[in-house]
A and B are shown apart, each in its own frame.
Chain A
């Protein structure tokens, strides 16, 4: 572990063989198909993948926000502090959701209710999850807004979302999600709609919040830049499966799955001139029509006969580094 000092031995979140399928008119779509990872307190995991790779469905499964039907969590375990979330009733889960495991979604424009004031929305979460006197709810809300560095928080409490900029709104969303001191915070592309300098402010804020309360943080992103800046561990997803997992340096220095390697080579670099980017031919596969073997085989430069026939098992590259590719056999 990179942040050995902050991480404790017992993982705060453990996901084992999670499978979430959707019934569609084209057949069963295996959006998440056997995903396993763990997360310690104070640690940041980056879940990287393209659209349709299953990273957002993984996140929704963790929060149990999958629309049922058509979706269904077929199997697996989600252990939050040793408790399997999949065995909880909806009532029990709604107590966990927001208080122990919280979520920041991508778009701050749509995740706030336009007809309630900022203060109202921050207080809502506190009222639901914390048993504190009414009078101090206001104080508490003010407190979290200050924590996410919202200037003039007292006056901002009475403002409505449309009166704030995108960066400020995303801060409010952040304030709501940390208001009940969760132990795990999932951020689903939290900065894609923000400008570069505002993104830098926000990432710094998330790091500070993490340090303060020893949060386990999951970053869902397609941007390796965010991974390089923020994460300790990385899991790369492709077509519903984790194809490679390791520490951030493992992934950047010795990518072992051809997909990871290709992705890293296809990103232009800020620090140096690149003559020509590697471009991955073809497109991500349709999840309802996956090839029998490795789903990356049709786009893989190292493809072998075996790859087209059988899905590769996970091979251990290093202590904390593993990849599912036949070349490692």
Chain B
């Protein structure tokens, strides 16, 4: 995966640091430390009492660096969307902290929180429901700027035109309504809107899975180009492993609210180490009929997060299960630089 090293695209963003420049490590933009989100399960209407907890996210730690993409992969119910919601401050973590540029956002003051909300934006899966059908495109894109910045009208109009052209649309498109656009174009609008405040991080929740095949590559390439131009970081949530390989620099594989494997993208795809990652890889579809895949089809389904298995959460489905897996919780081991696995095999 290439980062923007060595390239100098025209940049309109005010941010100064570029990843990989002068051979320096990209700086850590956001860090999650032992993040937890438990949802209470209640019984009774008037006198309700909590009978249990759904541990949607249970102890996540990861880093997102400036100008890089972190991918989160996992099946439905593994907690990827809850993680995204916590980063967007739409959910309060039960425990743990989110450090943005070194500062815990949940402990900082209202001014900093507002600043954080501005710098973290989102693009969602369904471009049909994420744009207000009653607003003209130019107003949709200008809305975040009108709310957050006090700019003169003229300047906002110029910025909207610039954003439209950056995402590959024409200036006249600004006068239309969302229903006049196709799925791919709407996703472009959603991206323009997310970029309008010069964010540092964009959460991409399945940004291409609702689009037609021939349109997906357009949007993926656009996102990569914009990443270089705006020097923005992405958190990509996806279930399609090939898409993640193309888009990401780092990948975290989640299972039942926990990260089971976390590695640089190439390392993860060439040397998948956790049995669950291996199973995901063998279940993913090949790109050519002659590619022989390791047959490793998991039996059963993901257990309920209400009552997760003891020990390693993957052990009831794991083909390499050992006695201690059902008792001891595996610790995170670094098996090669940057490659973290939590499994008793290592």
- Contact A196/B239 with A204-B297, A226-B285, A270-B286 known, Cβ cut-off 8 Å: yes
Q: Cβ of A271: which chain B residues have Cβ within 8 Å of it?
A: 269, 286-287, 291
Most buried by A among B216, B221, B287: B287
Q: Which residue of A lies closest to B77 (CB)?
A: A195
B246 interfacial by beta-carbon distance below 8 Å: yes
**B residues near A, CB below 8 A?**
1-2, 75-76, 182, 184, 212-218, 220-221, 224, 239, 241-243, 245-247, 266, 269, 279-291, 297-299, 301-302
Q: A266-B213, A271-B287, A283-B182 are in contact. List 5 more A-B contacts (CB 8 A).
A: A198-B75, A225-B287, A252-B289, A267-B242, A299-B214
Please give, as numbers and ranges, the residues of chain A lying within 8 Å of B2 by CB-CB distance.
Answer: 275
Q: Is A93 an interface residue (CB 8 A)?
A: no
Q: Choose among B75, B215, B245 the residue that contacts A195 (Cβ–Cβ < 8 A).
A: B75
Does the CB pair B290–A225 fall under 8 Å?
no
Q: Count the A-B residue pairs with Cβ separation under 8 angstroms: how many?
A: 125
0/1 interface trace, chain A 261-293, chain B, CB 8 Å (1 if under): 011001111110111111111011000000000
Judged by a CB distance under 8 angstroms, whether A197 is at the interface is yes
- Chain B residues positioned under 8 Å from A227 (CB to CB): 289
- Contacting pair B287 A269 (CB below 8 A): yes
- Asked if B279 and A197 sit within 8 Å, CB to CB, the answer is yes
Taking a contact as CB atoms under 8 Å apart, the answer to whether A268 and B245 are in contact is yes
State whether A228 touches B285 (Cβ < 8 A). yes
Q: Is the CB of B241 within 8 A of A276?
A: no
Indicate if A199 sits at the interface (CB-CB under 8 A): yes
- B residues less than 8 Å from A266 (CB atoms): 213-214, 216-217
A interface, over-half SS: loop
Q: Which 8 A-B pairs have the closest CB atoms?
A: A225-B285, A200-B283, A266-B217, A268-B246, A279-B217, A195-B75, A277-B217, A268-B242
CA–CA, A201 to B288, complex, Å?
20
B289 and A195 contacting across the interface, CB-CB below 8 Å: no
**Minimum C-beta distance from B78 to chain A (A):** 9
A209 to chain B, nearest CB (A): 15
Q: Which of A50, A196, A198 lies at the interface centre, i.e. has the most chain B CB atoms within 10 A of its CB?
A: A196
Q: Are B246 and A274 in contact (CB under 8 A)?
A: yes
A-B contact pairs, 5 of them (CB 8 A): A200-B297, A263-B214, A270-B281, A273-B266, A277-B217
Given contacts A196-B280, A199-B283, A268-B243, contact A278 B217 (CB under 8 A): yes
